[in-house]
């Protein structure tokens, strides 16, 4: 199954109206953006989650941007974990499946050392999620800059060694490799995944990788969808362009044409 939808639900007051509007557009997934703050309480999350479930719209969450599980300062690691766990609690009540987040930065350290530090914190987070009986999965995201932890191989290894999930941002992989992406290799590496939670958009990049997201070009949408259909992938694609709803609808139309 292919689910498509935007990053961003809007505020609590307009959530129901937005979800119903999205449903009319054919949208079947929404990622709730807690990127700057967790703007709803558990009761509000429960109501919104039930509305989305009744509309058959799959919800996920993007946690705050200011997270670094490998910080040189212990207090920043603890603050990062608290932010992730708050999103996990809300996600449980939203009936969301994934909490997406960027793990951290290399900060000039050996990549293996950073991997082990992040792995330790992810294992601890998973233990707390299990203890609280929250029905939610952690999904560390592939990142768009070489200075950030989170290439595809690192996250596939992290999934294997901890039991977390992952979020594959195809635009980030494209920018991280300075305008190159080998979809054959990417889908070969991820073929064992039962479901792929993904991000996609147009992107501007430089020598150091990602700069900013832009409107998604039809040609790039078509290229990705062709590989998804070719590999019969079960996937949710969240669009993160400046017009995520418009680009999601555009993706839907291209998908119908390809089918």
* pLDDT tens track for 112-171: 999 999 999 999 999 999 999 999 999 999 999 999 999 999 999 999 999 999 999 999
Q: Which of 205, 195, 74 is nearest to 139 (CA)?
A: 195
* Confidence at residue 101, expressed as pLDDT on a 0 to 100 scale: 98
- pLDDT at 56 (0 to 100): 98
Predicted pLDDT of residue 207: 86
Sign of CA dihedral 192, 6, 141, 136: negative
User: Using alpha carbons only, how large is the chain's radius of gyration in Å?
Assistant: 17
CA 231, CA 9: separation in Å to the nearest integer? 30
Q: 45-51: list long-range contacts, CB under 8 Å, 24+ apart.
A: 45/90, 45/91, 45/93, 45/94, 46/93, 46/94, 48/9, 48/12, 48/15, 48/16, 48/19, 48/94, 49/93, 49/94, 49/95, 49/96, 50/95, 51/15, 51/16, 51/19
Please tell me the pTM assigned to this model: 0.97
Query: What pLDDT is attached to residue 150?
Result: 97
Quick one: pLDDT at residue 259?
87
Running along the chain, 259 residues long, what does each successive block of 10 average in pLDDT? 97 98 98 97 98 98 97 97 98 98 96 98 98 98 96 98 98 96 97 97 93 96 98 98 98 96
CATH top-level class for 2-258?
Answer: alpha beta
> SS3 for 151?
coil
pLDDT at 138: 98
């Amino acid at each position: 199954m292919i689910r498509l939808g935007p990053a961003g639900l809007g505020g609590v007051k307009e959530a129901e109206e937005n979800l119903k509007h999205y449903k009319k557009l054919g949208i079947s997934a929404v990622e709730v953006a807690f990127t700057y703050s967790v703007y709803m309480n558990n009761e509000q999350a429960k109501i919104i989650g039930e509305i989305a479930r009744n509309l058959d719209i799959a919800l996920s969450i993007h946690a705050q941007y200011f997270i670094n599980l490998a910080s040189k300062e212990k207090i920043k690691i603890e603050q990062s974990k608290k932010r992730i766990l708050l999103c996990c609690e809300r996600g449980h009540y939203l009936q969301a499946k994934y909490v997406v987040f960027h793990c951290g930065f290399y900060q000039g350290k050996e990549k293996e050392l950073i991997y082990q530090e992040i792995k330790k914190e992810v294992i601890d987070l998973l233990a707390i999620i299990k203890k609280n009986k929250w029905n939610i999965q952690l999904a560390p995201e592939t990142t768009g800059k070489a200075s950030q932890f989170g290439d595809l191989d690192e996250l596939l290894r992290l999934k294997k060694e901890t039991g977390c999930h992952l979020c594959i941002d195809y635009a980030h992989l494209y920018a991280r490799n300075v305008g190159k992406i080998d979809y054959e290799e990417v889908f070969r590496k991820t073929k064992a995944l039962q479901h792929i939670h993904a991000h996609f958009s147009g992107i501007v990049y430089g020598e150091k990788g990602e700069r900013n997201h832009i409107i998604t070009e039809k040609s790039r949408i078509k290229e990705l969808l062709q590989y998804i259909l070719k590999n019969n992938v079960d996937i949710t694609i969240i669009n993160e362009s400046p017009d995520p709803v418009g680009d999601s609808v555009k993706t839907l139309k291209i998908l119908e044409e390809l089918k």
